[in-house]
Amino acid sequence: MPQSAVKVFLRTRPSDVYSPEQLQVNQDTKTFTIVQAARSSGLPSDKAGPSQQYQFKFDGILHNASQEDVFEVCATDVLSSALEGYNSTIMCYGQTGAGKTHTMAGSRASYAARGLIPRVISALLARLGAAPGLAAWSVSVSYLEIYNEALYDLLDLTAQPQELALYEDGRGRVQVSGLRQVAVASEAEALALFFEGESNRVIGEHQLNKQSSRSHSIFMLSITTTPEGGDGRSLASKLCLVDLAGSERVSKTRSEGLVLKEAGHINRSLALLEQVVRAASERGRDHVPYRSSKLTHVLKDSLGGNCATVLIANVWGEPAQLDETLSTCRFAARMARLVCEVASNVVQEGGARVRELQREVQELKEELAMMQLMAGWQQQQQQQQQEGSNSSRERPYDDTQRQKLQQAVLAWLQLPDDADSSGSTLSQLPLSSVRQLRELLLAVKVGAAVDGKNWNACPC
């Protein structure tokens, strides 16, 4: 299977107090350097030591970048991969207030401020509508929320949405039971679902962000395309757009009550995410604790499985947020070491699958008929024993009956091994007594001799 390293881009939130001495961006080398002044205890005898420099290299630095730039750099290739049948994920990670939701969903202040999700929806449906050589396509939308370590469907409109459960299917793929998948035929339909889901997300207010997401959210697009004139197979992929809740230092956010409790869940799940990323990026490590939280379990594929993953590390370039910026960069550098095993998902054409299932039904019907037959014989034998009779008293076939049976057996023996025999004369002959079975076996013996089959070599 081809391998693909996670691609990592760093995006800075614009700030009036941005300090180029402390945060140095080099677009040519794609490096981001953090200069941290040494800390002194404040005692007159304690001299501050030299400052520390931390340099990180990423796949791209999005500094003063527009929403359109972010889409072009981070999402266009991902979209192409999704249309080629590859599962893909774009994920935003960073401290609270760093601009994750701004990047993923965008702002409603202007059309130009729309984020990655609405742009991906538009581009995807435009590309599918104009794609030459497609016999059929389908897109469906799901929107999942992880709030306080519980899963919810953001497209569930009932007053009390139910908590959803996670499970792994027979092929080890993580599934969310009961999560709605709504088919869409146009950009307008998909956008309506996105806005509906957005309005159901849990938002709270604290010192650093008036509109802080209190949950992780995953917007999923399931795409199927069937090429024209192909061998009847389709390509199926899932494109996930993940807006993680932001890590927060409660001393800075001054959260209390419910917001404080939410912060506990958010910080814990992000710490477990970091542990999983650390474990998954270690060579030779055979156990990665994906099941340690709902978030890591849901994101199992995106963190080293069958998925092309892009991480956008959002940082808030202000001196007061330097520690959080450093910790985001460290996480991003670890993500860059993850390698995913990607494969295009080819699904069998509907007609071929239907034929396969029809054949299976036919075989099961034949097996059932045989079992009913055997049960009938047993019953018949019991009856005969009770009546003091036995089957040998039944009259044997006459010559015409035998000839007819032998012809049917010979025709059946001459069919190719993989031929469908359900319509042959043999399968329509009555077979409901020991006498009929004996005659049939005799006819097979005669027929085999005529057909020249070597029965000594037969494994049956």
Ligand X SMILES: Nc1ncnc2c1ncn2[C@@H]1O[C@H](COP(=O)(O)OP(=O)(O)OP(=O)(O)O)[C@@H](O)[C@H]1O
Task: Could you list the residues known to form a binding site for ATP, using ranges.
Answer: 94-101
d(CA 357, CA 348): 12
CB of 214 to ligand X, least distance (A): 8
User: Could you say whether residue 115 binds ligand X (CB under 6 A)?
Assistant: no
Alpha-carbon distance of 141 to 219, in angstroms, equals 7
CA distance 460 to 456: 9
Using alpha carbons only, what angle is made at residue 337 by residues 60 and 12, rounded to the nearest 5 degrees? 30
> Pattern of binders to ligand X over 149-188, x per CB under 6 A?
----------------------------------------
- Least gap, CB of 100 to ligand X (angstroms): 4
- Other C-beta atoms closer than 10 Å to the C-beta of 173 total 14
Under the criterion CB under 6 A, does residue 96 sit at the interface with ligand X?
Answer: yes
Whichever of 85 and 99 has its CB closer to ligand X, that residue is 99
Contact between 94 and ligand X per CB under 6 A: yes
Structure tokens that stand for 352 in this block: 């071929």
Q: How far is the CB of 302 from ligand X (least distance, A)?
A: 19
* Nearest CB to ligand X, comparing residues 68 and 451: 68
Nearest residue (CB) to ligand X, 18 versus 54: 18
By beta-carbon proximity to ligand X, the closer residue of 155 and 242 is 242
Is residue 406 within the footprint of ligand X (CB under 6 A)? Answer: no
Contact 41, 17 (CB under 8 A): no
Q: How many CB atoms lie within 10 A of CB 370?
A: 11
- What six digits make up the tokens of 130? 């104009």
97 is a site residue for ligand X (CB under 6 A): yes
**Closest to ligand X by CB, 324 or 439:** 324
Asked if 100 touches ligand X (CB under 6 A), the answer is yes
Q: How far is the CB of 101 from ligand X (least distance, A)?
A: 3
Task: Examine residue 75 and tell whether it contacts ligand X (CB under 6 A).
Answer: no
Q: How far apart are CA 434 and CA 51, in angstroms?
A: 97
Stretch that binds ligand X, among 97-105, 130-138, 285-293, 380-388 (CB under 6 A): 97-105
- The reply on whether position 201 binds ligand X by CB under 6 A is no
Total residues binding ligand X (CB under 6 A) = 18
For the record, the structure tokens of 317 come out as 């370039």
Q: How far is the CB of 78 from ligand X (least distance, A)?
A: 20
When binding is defined by CB under 6 A, the residue of 60, 85, 246, 304 that contacts ligand X is 246
Alpha-carbon distance of 105 to 83, in angstroms, equals: 22
Q: Is residue 270 within 8 Å of 260, Cβ to Cβ? A: no
Q: Is 98 in the site for ligand X (CB under 6 A)?
A: yes
Looking at beta carbons only, is 11 or 238 nearer to ligand X? Answer: 11
Beta bridge partners of 7: 310
What Å distances lie between residue 155 and 58, 143, 145, 224, 440, CA to CA?
Answer: 35, 6, 10, 21, 62
By CB under 6 A, tell whether 119 contacts ligand X.
no
Q: Which stretch binds ligand X (CB under 6 A): 157-165, 186-194, 204-212, 229-237?
A: 204-212
* Residue recorded with tokens 């590390």: 313
- Are 335 and 277 a contacting pair, CB within 8 Å? yes
Distance between CA atoms of 17 and 273, rounded to whole angstroms? 31
The binder of ligand X chosen from 144, 191, 245, 307 (CB under 6 A): 245
The reply to whether 269 sits near ligand X by the rule CB under 6 A is no
Record the tokens describing residue 242, joined without a space. 């993940």
Q: Residue from 25, 34, 85, 99 that binds ligand X (CB under 6 A)?
A: 99
Contact 149, 204 (CB under 8 A): no
DSSP state of 139: E
Residues flagged as binding site: 94-101
| Least CB distance to ligand X at residue 103 (A) | 7
Helix (H) or strand (E) holding 307: none
77 touches 24 (CB < 8 A): no
Q: Which stretch binds ligand X (CB under 6 A): 124-132, 159-167, 206-214, 304-312?
A: 206-214
Give me the residues that bind ligand X (CB under 6 A), please: 13-14, 94, 96-102, 107, 209, 211-213, 245-246, 314
